[in-house]
Structure 1
Amino acid sequence: MLAVVLALALGTYAFRLAGVLLADRLTLPESVRRLLPLAAVALLTALAVTAALTEAGSPAGVARPGGVLVGLILAWRRLPFAVVVVAAAATAAGLRLLGLP
């Protein structure tokens, strides 16, 4: 297990170092450079949705997505981060106390 973690850490470091070392040598087309920030947003959104809606490969139930929805609405309304996190957690906890999965 430790070998896997070390291999992943080394691979991540090498990948990032390659980006720094090759930045001046690699020229991307303008269309690709325009789309790169959108790709990062799409990846992060996919990770967030997967984490919010699934648990161990199966649907997460109602409580977690409910808490995430409350957090999204409060963040969209630009409430302070601490308020968003506490309200989302309280919503999920409240739904679980009511017996919802």
Structure 2
Amino acid sequence: MNLTGVQGWLLIAALTVMAATTKALGPAIVGGRALPRWASGVIAVTAPALLSALVVTSVLADGQQWAVGAQTVGVAVAALLLLCRVPLLLASLAAVLVTAGVRALSG
């Protein structure tokens, strides 16, 4: 699906209005009452789930299809280094260098 420039901006504007409306409706509906336990649990896991989905699709998607490329290798290196308790800055630098190296070798 290809959008024109105007359609893209209209989509962004519509999503912005929808997000603002959703944020405004929450406090208006709930008021000053406490949320049920199950709702708090759902809210607590929503942000990490969305972030994970964004990372996975940006790392493993190439246009309209799934693909493993240089960025996938770089993210895997960073994840492995972070699991080994390497500082974030060093893990990021290693991921950038590995990604650049893979891209240089592949093409």
TM-score normalized with structure 2 length? 0.72
Deviations 1:16-62 (A, max 9, x none): 12223333267644233224322332222122111111111223333
Structure 1 position 88, deviation (Å): 1.0
Give the residue type in structure 2 aligned to 1:33: S
Query: Aligned residues: percent identity?
Result: 28
Aligned counterpart in structure 2 of residue 67 of structure 1, from 44, 60, 74: 74
What is the distance in 2 between the residues matched to 1:93 and 1:68?
Answer: 12
Deviations 1:61-100 (A, max 9, x none): 3311110101111222333332222211111111111116
In structure 2, stretches of 5+ residues that fail to align are 1-5
In structure 1, stretches of 5+ residues that fail to align are none
Give the residue type in structure 1 aligned to 2:67: A
Equivalent in the alignment of 2:3 = none
Higher RCO structure (Cα 8 Å, ≥6 apart): 1
CA RMSD across the alignment: 2.4
Describe the SS at the equivalent of 1:98. Answer: helix
What is the distance in 2 between the residues matched to 1:21 and 1:84?
Answer: 43
Corresponding pairs, count: 100
What is the distance in 1 between the residues matched to 2:55 and 2:90?
Answer: 19
TM-score normalized with structure 1 length? 0.75
2:27 is equivalent to residue 50 of structure 1: no
Describe the SS at the equivalent of 1:19. Answer: helix
2:26 is equivalent to residue 19 of structure 1: yes
